[in-house]
Amino acid sequence: MSKMDTVGMPDQGLKNDPDWWRGAAIYQIYPRSFQDSNGDGIGDLSGIIHRLPYIADLGVDAIWISPFFRSPMLDFGYDVSDYRDVDPMFGTLDDFDALIERAHQLGVRVIIDLVLSHSSAQHPWFKESRASRDNAKSDWYVWADAKPDGSPPNNWLSIFGGSAWEWDGERMQYYLHNFLSEQPDLNFHNPEVQNELLDITRFWLERGVDGFRLDTVNFYVHDQQLRDNPPLPEEERNDNTAPSVNPYNFQDHLYDKTRPENLNFLRRFRALLDEYPGTTAVGEVGESQRGMEVQAAYTAGDDLLHMCYDFAFLANAYPTGGHVGDILERFNRIVTEGWACWAYSNHDVVRHATRWNMDEPRLRLYAALLMSLKGSVCLYQGEELGLTEAYVAYEDLQDPYGKRFWPKFKGRDGARTPFPWSRDNRNGGFSDEKPWLPVAMEHVQRAAQSQADDSGSMLQFYRDMLAFRKAHLPILKGDITLISADDTRLCFERRHQGARVFCAFNLSDTVQRIELPQGAWDIDRGAPFTFIETAEGTDLPPHQALYAIASDTPA
């Protein structure tokens, strides 16, 4: 069923708003771990369909589904062997069509993960490419001769450790892989590759998807001269893109990614999306030194990506008021035309409850902060339950990244364990059989079923905060002006078409006096927080937020 076939469908819950993505709340589903419907211990598309009412009730605008394409699953779907089919472990194309239809009936849009920078080594394209140097797809991947001493063409490193080059004894050349050696990089300098990837994009647009999350969007294009990356001074290294144990952080990645030629492909990609009104794209920017600058470049104007996210809030650095204020200041100064998509957690990083060692009051406060920033937001499955990072023993580990750098880096499995739906059994209602990763017992105690009817639960807080966000257009789509930021409080103002909302957050363990900006303001009592009004002013208890509406706000 094409997107055009869904227009005007009876009972369709979607509103006709081509700008829906601006300020949207997007819920990320990691399909292997969301809901198993057939008893094989692995989540699937039918399981997602079954749980769509839960997502609609949460109040998000869209879901982002991590890859479900055919794959040998060496990187759990991020190694694609067929871009136009569903892997049997997840279901069928008919299941996907049913998912789209049901989501749209419930007013939820569907974004899917597109992995365009690389394919699986088992993809037919790569099998043909490696067969000879003169076949039809010989230039579809990045091949290079060895140096005279047999070593790789340059010093580029893989995100997963070691050289980014793998020797192929069949073709007698090296091929580039920025991730696993079984994930060869596609050659975006070849127009045929771009054309094929755009045709794949159209295939899913015709099936009715509302947009795409573009995996590693700044990795698409490499330097054709294959120049060495320069070293990065030690004081400039951080672990935003790769864990600190990985020497990947030792280089300034000028030539293996984020090349200027990428903008030409992104313009072609946006032109295709513009043929399908109301669709959108959010790019993942993996760039430790220049992430915000890349966001600005990739989202400037109306002919590139709609929005991007980098690792500003996905890194280990604790989000003190000063740190958040610095990010907001830099964003306002650098990303002058574009739009951000903020996130605290996803399938690639330690859950933020653990990463930042936050208790429930802080988790609530920072969730409200996330939903008050200028930009769209991504919420990772289980975040709304207050889930922490799960411990996964080495013998249960699945992630090749964790196996490579264990024990200093335990990989990504701790953020990918099955979603706890109920407290009725040891698998938390995820599956009747042994799950692909063990269910964390502490997660079962926070199961969705046990929180659903609890007015004081974390789940209900997320519902309330998402509803509050939707009720205020300046918070959804407005500009942001930072007023103050330190270790005790953070204050800013959101403005849109004459309407103004003041947002204040007490980040400390003590009561803070909040001074409202000059003018007439009405404190909004619909926010799920407490405050104290005295003759002297307004006091904000620890880890609480306050929202005020300018009295001259247009009706």
Q: Which residues does the annotation mark as catalytic? A: 215, 275
Residues 52-65 as b/e (b if ≥16 CB within 10 A, e otherwise) read bebbbebbbbbbbb
Three-state DSSP class for residue 470: helix
Angle, CA of 338, 342 and 346, to the nearest 5°? 135
Task: Check if the beta carbon of residue 342 is closer than 8 Å to that of residue 284.
Answer: no
Output the CA torsion 226→231→235→239 (10° steps).
50
CA distances from 315 to 311, 387, 407, 429 (A): 6, 18, 19, 31
Say which residues have a Cβ less than 8 Å from residue 195's Cβ, sequence separation at least 6.
none
In Å, how far are 212, 213, 309, 339, 405 from 305, measured between CA atoms?
10, 10, 11, 9, 34
Side-chain half-sphere exposure of 48, counting CA atoms within 13 A: 29
> Considering only CA atoms, which of 427, 428, 352, 335 is closest in space to residue 388?
352
In DSSP terms, 512 is beta-bridged to 540
Residue 269: strand, helix, or coil: helix
Token readout for 271 is: 């032109």
CA 555 vs CA 99, 146, 498: distances in Å: 38, 68, 10
Comparing CA positions, the residue from 324, 415, 318 lying closest to residue 370 is 324
| DSSP calls for 144-161 | EPPPTTS--SS--B-TTS
| Pair 173, 143: CB distance under 8 Å | yes
Dihedral of CA 437/442/443/449: which sign? Answer: positive
Determine if the peptide bond prior to 407 is cis (ω within 30°): yes
